Amino acid sequence: MVRGVIKPGHVFPLIARDGGVLVRAGHTEASVDIARLAGLNASAVICEIMNPDGSMARLHELGPFAQKHGLKIGTIRDLIAYRRRFDHLVECISTTCFVSDHGGEWRLLTYRNKVDGTYNLVLQKGEIDPHRETLVRMHTASLLSDLLGEHGSRSRAIPAAMEEIAQVGHGVIVLLVPRTDTGSALQTVAGADIDMDGRTYGVGAQILADLGVHDLILLTSSDHRAPVGLEGYGLHIVRNQHFDIAR
């Protein structure tokens, strides 16, 4: 006789992003990465560990649970740090300089994503000193708002960020070009801006690490929590700095 499920619950199929935790710092990607690194089939079964009151157990609660049941704990941060020693999913393929109405001289770098073939851009002002804090704007590129000036809260985000960084004299703007079903977001005429979730930042983090950024001040118009596993890239958000896009 086949035993049935004796606890209420559901099983959902999930698809891990190509590139694993270096692209998206999620539990789905981490479980598949671990299976692949162990030489097994790149698939896994994951589940949440719950507290007696039904809430999801956090890391400080998982320690005693693991000790009691003889389990081992690994963090996404440590997995990212391990994979960075052997895998690098972005490469700088070109660099040029130009003068802009927004902040004067800039350096433009093009980074290729080896996983999906997309190209991401970096606007760099001044030199990156790994021993000092760097002002950073992480921005998901959009044809409508960034190039065509579509009316909305993001229509002047790039010029405003460039002018903010120019006042300091050094910093970077990372323009991430997400992949969609119809191709690059820069090639998409219709549709709203595509926002990264709190874990889908790995390509941008690798670009910052490649530039030599360590301690960063995140230039933002909203409140953001530090992304999961950011320390695995050798990055640390010192603080958020708010700026006025509409000025």
What are the pLDDT tens digits along the chain (247 aa)? 445 555 656 778 899 988 888 888 889 999 999 999 999 999 999 988 899 898 999 888 998 999 999 999 988 888 988 887 778 889 999 999 999 999 999 999 999 988 878 899 999 999 999 899 999 998 888 777 777 777 776 778 899 999 999 999 999 999 988 665 554 444 443 333 334 455 567 888 889 999 999 999 998 877 666 676 778 888 998 988 987 665 5
Which residue among 84, 102, 125 closes a domain? 84
150 with 67, same domain?
A: no
Residue 7 in any domain: the answer is no
Q: What is the per-residue pLDDT for 196?
A: 47
Alpha helices in the chain, H assignment, sequence order? 27-37, 59-69, 76-84, 157-168, 202-211
**Same domain flag for 143 and 64:** no
Which pLDDT score is estimated for 191?
A: 35
The answer on 142 and 170 residing in a single domain is yes
Residues 232, 176 share a domain: yes
What per-residue confidence (pLDDT) applies to 179? 64
Is residue 67 in some structural domain? yes
Looking at the fold, whether 46 and 162 belong to one and the same domain comes out as no
Residue 152 φ then ψ, to 5°: 160, -175
Give the residue from 65, 84, 103 where a domain finishes: 84
Report the CATH number that the domain containing residue 138 is assigned in CATH: 3.40.50.10990
pLDDT at 120: 92
> Structural domain of residue 67, as residue ranges?
20-84
For residue 3, being part of any structural domain is answered with no
User: Does 14 fall in a domain?
Assistant: no
Task: Please identify, among 43, 68, 84, the residue that sits at the C-terminal boundary of a domain.
Answer: 84
132 within some domain: yes
52 and 137 part of one domain: no
Residue located via tokens 């460039």: 162
Look at strands 119-125 and 171-176 and give their pairing: antiparallel
Q: Could you tell me which residues come within 8 angstroms of residue 48 by beta carbon, excluding any fewer than 6 positions away?
A: 56, 57
Number of domains in the chain: 2
109 and 60 in one domain? no
108 and 227 co-located in one domain:
yes
